[in-house]
């Protein structure tokens, strides 16, 4: 992202935080940016302003929930879910729980550590469906299998099947 775009986003966020009236897309963009910057106070303020937490931003290809997952930020992910973020939303070509499996496993692999279930467990506890498929026909279970992430597979086995399917 170029410096002018970064400065414009920072100005937008400051305007929203200063209490200026913002349109719904501006609020959603500010929430997305605050989640990306991992600014918990800004996220809290913007949520209090009545932002649509499920607003999909075309230019960002996603929602604030997915960016919180991308940042592996459990606290902001929980705040967004508490505010009504849909744990089954698609963004970046995957579901939220698929994204969490990928971020958790890839981050642990890069750090030479074991992955943790924190983000995945939170999403599952809020109704994320590990069997929901993306546009390529892959589910979070498929991704966990690909990573050989047995703990996630075991967790997914505890989720009752969706009766509507």
Residue with tokens 């410096």: 3
Residue with tokens 């099947």: 161
pLDDT at position 137 is 94
Which uninterrupted H or E stretch holds 74?
helix 74-82
pLDDT, tens digit, 9 for 90 and up, residues 11-53: 666 665 565 566 788 888 889 999 999 999 999 989 988 899 9
pLDDT, tens digit, 9 for 90 and up, residues 62-89: 899 999 999 999 999 999 999 999 999 8
Share of residues in the chain with pLDDT > 90 (%)? 56
Going along the chain from its start, the domains and CATH numbers come out as: 1-73 (1.25.40), 87-165 (1.25.40.20)
Write the burial class of residue 24 (CB in 10 Å: 0-12 exposed, 13-18 middle, 19+ buried). exposed
* Angle between helix 74-82 and helix 118-125 axes, rounded to 10 deg: 10
Q: Decide: 100 and 69 in contact? Cβ < 8 Å.
A: yes
The verdict on pTM exceeding 0.75 is yes
């Amino acid at each position: 992202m170029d410096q002018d775009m970064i400065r414009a986003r920072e100005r937008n966020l400051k305007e929203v935080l200063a209490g200026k009236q913002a349109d719904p897309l501006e609020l959603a963009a500010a929430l997305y940016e605050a989640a990306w910057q991992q600014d918990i106070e800004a996220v809290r303020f913007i949520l209090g302003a009545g932002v649509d937490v499920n607003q999909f931003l075309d230019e960002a290809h996603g929602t604030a929930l997915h960016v919180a997952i991308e940042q592996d930020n459990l606290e902001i992910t929980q705040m967004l879910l508490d505010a009504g973020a849909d744990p089954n939303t698609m963004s970046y070509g995957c579901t939220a729980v698929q994204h969490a499996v990928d971020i958790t496993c890839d981050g642990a692999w890069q750090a030479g550590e074991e992955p943790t279930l924190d983000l995945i467990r939170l999403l599952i506890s809020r109704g994320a469906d590990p069997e929901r498929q993306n546009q390529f026909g892959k589910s979070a279970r498929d991704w966990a299998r690909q990573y050989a992430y047995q703990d996630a597979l075991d967790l997914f086995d505890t989720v009752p099947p969706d009766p509507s399917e």
